[in-house]
Amino acid sequence: MDLRLSVRRSGNVTILDVRGRITFGAAGDSFKTELRKLVQDLPCGLVVNLTDATQIDSSGIGALVQCYVTLARSGSSLVILNPVGSVREVLEVTHLHNSIPVYPDEAQALASVHTSSKRA
């Protein structure tokens, strides 16, 4: 399955819906490019919805880490929404879920981003 990305807003929070495989090559490049575009609106809150992501490799992990660091330095936040299957396993094996908050549902993810935005 090709990678499909769509962006939507909930108040001052941007939600990036990811569908398909985030892997090295064109898919990984488009994921990284989209994240870079989204962080240009600093300060901002970003939820990366991985519910429909089927695979992620090191290029996707690298893009998430780079985005997280950029946002954290500006006082903004990034959270991950509902990774499942092998995507969840990769986040656990890399221990990325210990650094970037992961939430099982959108309401919790949005509440977390709103809360951290108020603190910044």
Identify the structural domains of the chain with CATH numbers, from first to last: 4-114 (3.30.750.24)
Average pLDDT, the chain: 92
Q: Residue 43: which pLDDT band, with cuts at 50, 70 and 90?
A: confident
| Selected residue with higher pLDDT from 74 and 114 | 74
Query: Which pLDDT belongs to residue 1?
Result: 63
Q: Residue 119: which pLDDT band, with cuts at 50, 70 and 90?
A: very low
Query: Which pLDDT belongs to residue 114?
Result: 72
CA distance to 25, 35, 44, 50, 63, per residue, from 28 (Å): 5, 11, 23, 14, 8
What's the rounded mean pLDDT across residues 42-61? 93
Instruction: Pick the closest to residue 35 from 10, 57, 18, 51 (CA basis).
Output: 18
| 88-108: pLDDT as tens digits | 999 999 999 999 999 999 999
pLDDT surpasses 70 at 117: no
What's the rounded mean pLDDT across residues 9-37? 95
> Among all chains, which residue has been given the structure tokens 């892997």?
23
10 contact partners, CB below 8 Å, separation of at least 6: 110
Across 15-24, 34-43, 81-90, least confident range: 34-43
